[in-house]
Copies of this chain bind each other. A is one copy, B any other.
Amino acid sequence: MAFEITRELTQEIKALIEAQNAQELSQRYNDIHFADLAEILDTLNVEEATYLVKVLNTETTSDAIMELEDDIREAILKNLSAKEIAEELEELDTDDAADIINELPQNRVENVIAEIEDEGHAENIVDLLRYEDDTAGGLMAKELVKVDENWTVTQCLNEIKQQAENVSRIHSIYVVDEYNKLKGRLSLRDLMMAQSKKNISQIYIPKVDFVNVNTDTEEVARIMQKYDLEAIPVVDESSRLKGRITIDDIVDFIKDEAEKDYQMAAGISSDVEADDSIFELTKARLPWLVLGLLGGLGSVYIMEGFEDALEKYSRLFYFTPLIAAMAGNVGVQSSAIIVQGLANDNVKGSLLNRLLKEVGLSLINGIALSLLVILFGSITGLEQAFSLTIAISMLCVIIFAALIGTFIPIILDKKGIDPAIATGPFITTSNDIFGIFLFFYISKTILGF
């Protein structure tokens, strides 16, 4: 339980690897949990990690490899022979094995598959390769327990004992007919409690949730979450049982999705982590900064159009960061709520209602903030007409920013584009520009410069 990587542990392992002390290493680490081994591999360099993978037994290393970051895994696999990779795949469930095959360079795929000794396992993996990544087919594993509706309970129990050898978690037992069409499910509990001579068709539950091989991963996640499922069977176009998706795969997906939305909102365009290379991080971050820069230069251009204000109302220019900040913050808030609402499927009601609500909301927030500005003006001795102008134009900017923040994601979503792209730099930048324009335009109208 209390496994922790310490500097000493890493040093020790590195020393053993350098001394090529395979015996000591396998004695110590063959029975370690794969998740712990993954953490160890993470602290080693590629050569050291490769050596450790080669030395330890594949039962542990195969699962550990699956836990690694893509780039580290790729580097280690590069150092392994086709036969060594095949030995790892032998131990993995078909879904994980197929994921690894998908990551291999095209010219190694055939060699690796040819080296897998268990024919059935190899065929199952190959079957999975033809499904798209972001579908139920691409996510499912072939490992599952199924029984024929015509069997008896005793027959069924014996059969299950055999099938279960390859399935780490049974969850549900699926019931199929003689054509492998999904008919229903059977809980292991019900089966254990049933009389042994009964027929499966008498005791199975005909109601079963399932998805199609082509169902979107997102939809699978929604269904499994909504109905609290720990596993869901996957069928093909003729209702034949093809595989099964378990909740652990969905947990990763849900987390990744939520983190992706957050990263997009923060202006990070691909899935990077603090420990990625400077190059990777720059690639993910710089484009959004360039967008921000262009927005800022746009603001420069807009203000040049209002340079008359410099003479009599130069103080207006002190307030541009304030206006930009309000436009940005309000826009990000509104869009975050809508993006999360769309992701969780709880944005209901008509567009008109949402419009009215958003205007109401920003009126309340905007008026409160405007009063603060007026208060600030009277304390610091600003001219009354001037601080009133700032308050009014800020109020307009806030309402405008809230509407943009709300409706851009909704429109993108309706057009089938991921609305998360609209949060963050995109919204802040456009709101900055339009906000500043609106601010000067309204100020000019009121003050007349």
Interface residues of A (CB under 8 A from B): 1, 33, 35, 43, 157, 160-161, 164, 169-170, 188-189, 192-193, 209-210, 223, 225-228, 230, 247-248, 250-251, 254-255, 258-259, 261-263, 265-268, 272-275, 278, 281-282, 285-286, 288-290, 292-293, 295-297, 299-300, 303-304, 310, 314, 317-326, 328-330, 332-333, 335-338, 340-341, 344, 346-349, 354, 357, 360-361, 364-365, 368-369, 372-373, 376, 423-425, 428-429, 432, 436
Q: How far is the CA of A261 from the CA of B286 in the complex (A)?
A: 23
- Contacting residues, chain B, for A368 (C-beta < 8 A): 286, 290
Sample of 17 A–B contacts (CB below 8 Å): A160-B192, A225-B255, A247-B248, A254-B255, A258-B262, A262-B336, A266-B332, A268-B333, A289-B333, A292-B325, A292-B329, A293-B373, A295-B325, A296-B322, A303-B317, A320-B321, A329-B428
Given A164-B193, A325-B429, also A285-B333 (CB < 8 A): yes
Are the C-beta atoms of A365 and B170 separated by less than 8 Å? no
Q: Please state if A265 and B267 are interface contacts (CB–CB under 8 Å).
A: no
Contact in complex: B332, A289 (CB < 8 Å)? no
With A310-B310, A322-B293, A332-B267: A170-B193 Cβ-Cβ less than 8 Å: no
Given contacts A170-B188, A273-B346, A288-B333, 14 further A-B contacts (CB under 8 A): A35-B227, A164-B189, A188-B188, A228-B248, A230-B230, A247-B251, A258-B258, A259-B340, A267-B332, A275-B348, A289-B369, A297-B322, A304-B318, A324-B324
Given contacts A193-B161, A314-B310, A333-B266, contact A432 B365 (CB under 8 A): no
Q: Residue A169 contacts which of B230, B259, B319, B322 (CB distance < 8 angstroms)? A: B230
What is the CA–CA distance of A161 and B323 in the complex, to the nearest angstrom?
Answer: 67
A interface, over-half SS: helix
Whole-angstrom distance between the Cβ of A218 and the nearest chain B Cβ: 14
